[in-house]
A = this chain, B = another copy of it.
Amino acid sequence: MAAEVESVEALIDEFVPADNLKDLKRLLYGAELPSLNLSNEAKLFAQEKDIELKGYIFSAASESTRSPKIVRIGGVQNKIVLPTTAPILAQRDALHKRIADIIKCAALSGVNVICMQEAWTMPFAFCTREKQPWCEFAESAENGATTKFLQELAHQYNMVIVSPILEREEERWDVIQNTAVVISNSGEVIGISRKNHIPRVGDFNESTYYMEGNTGHRVFDTQFGKIAVNICYGRHHPQNWMLYGINGADIVFNPSATVGALSEPLWPIEARNAAIANSYFTVAINRVGTEEFPNEFTSADGKPAHKDFGHFYGSSYVAGPDGSRTPGLSRTRDGLIIAEVDLNLNRQIKDKWGFRMTQRLDLYAKELNDVLKPDWKPNIIRE
């Protein structure tokens, strides 16, 4: 098997001369964002623990009536630690330990709000279509071991932690959900946000496990800005991103788990477009590595049964409301992407571009209502 390409950035940095690289990065990324000065302690710890650590700065103009609102946001991408054949609790605890290190690295880097990848306490087992043992990874959002574990870290590091897990609704018929738990820097659970759009793609029909979320488009008002969570497949739906913006989000995290040729052409586009269209920051987070399962399964693509879903290509990044974005993390390594952002940029871009002023919500509310009527016909003009 050919080695995975490291990243777009590695390729262009290697071959394009410095003068031209500046132009190229402006055209590809909107701007070459300055790197964030991270502490030596953070850098050494990252090196010791084999964590790719990258930080960038999105700045804003200074204003007369508002102080800057500087926040450091982080996205975590990681491989699973133990093989999928290890006991469930051992797999989970090994991931807890790994994430504890990455969150410590974030704390050493001054991160205020952090988010892990989708279903971070487990392998992405939904491709197998087996219920057992994978459903055993599901936990109570409010009282599960993972939430308790993170509440301590959140309080210890004064950090808001967004924890996307497989949720078991213990008091509501044992239903399973795909849920992000938002934990305040005080250590309290502020609330939960569920995945609004569920893929029914051949080899990952996740509605085998959970249905469309029922928590709408909540925004969580934290000490470090208003945040929202658009889980994985929800990034393909611009109207989903839009409603988080309508409710006032400053930062929307997109914890994901996505592989290979199918989604990689979409990856650099969707979360960046959402940041542009909604005048907020987005953090696109994908897991890394290849996960092998004990039993073979098919991928609804005519190919023979196999034991892995493909390569999760990482490439996590942060995008800003002005169309600029950070380079991506690697396609192969565990990593932490950090952006120091001035949230004032969001309103400055709103004032500049006026997308909220010109959005004509009345037109769209009316047209969508019409579409739902049983006698709706598409608006087609024929010669």
CB-CB under 8 A for A191 and B354, given A11-B16, A12-B24, A323-B269: no
A186 to B383 Cα, complex, angstroms: 9
Complex partner residue of A266 from B266, B276, B367, CB under 8 angstroms: B276
Chain A residues 235 to 280 lying within 8 A of chain B, measured CB to CB, are 236-239, 241-243, 246-248, 262-266, 268-270, 272-273, 276-277
Identical copies in the complex: 2
Q: Is A201 an interface residue (CB 8 A)?
A: yes
User: Interface readout for A179-210 with B: 1 if CB under 8 Å, 0 if not?
Assistant: 00010101010110000111111100000000
Q: Is A358 an interface residue (CB 8 A)?
A: yes
CB-CB under 8 A for A243 and B198, given A238-B273, A270-B276, A372-B361: no
CB-CB under 8 A for A380 and B248, given A265-B323, A273-B270, A371-B365: yes
Q: Is A113 an interface residue (CB 8 A)?
A: no
CB-CB under 8 A for A188 and B383, given A248-B378, A265-B30: yes
A265 to B320 Cα, complex, angstroms: 11
Q: Is A8 an interface residue (CB 8 A)?
A: yes
Q: Is A64 an interface residue (CB 8 A)?
A: no
A interface size (C-beta, 8 A): 89
Q: Is A379 an interface residue (CB 8 A)?
A: yes
Report yes or no: B24 in contact with A217, Cβ–Cβ below 8 A.
no
Report yes or no: B372 in contact with A368, Cβ–Cβ below 8 A.
no
Complex partner residue of A31 from B190, B237, B242, B265, CB under 8 angstroms: B265
Report yes or no: B217 in contact with A367, Cβ–Cβ below 8 A.
yes
Complex interface: chain B residues within 8 A of A221 (CB): 380-383
Could you say which of A11, A20, A196, A243 has the most chain B C-beta atoms within 10 Å of its C-beta?
A11
Report yes or no: B246 in contact with A378, Cβ–Cβ below 8 A.
yes
Could you say which of A276, A322, A357, A368 has the most chain B C-beta atoms within 10 Å of its C-beta?
A368
A218 to B377 Cα, complex, angstroms: 12
Q: List 15 A-B contacts (CB under 8 A).
A: A14-B20, A30-B266, A190-B381, A190-B383, A200-B354, A200-B357, A201-B354, A217-B367, A236-B277, A236-B355, A237-B355, A238-B273, A248-B380, A270-B276, A362-B372
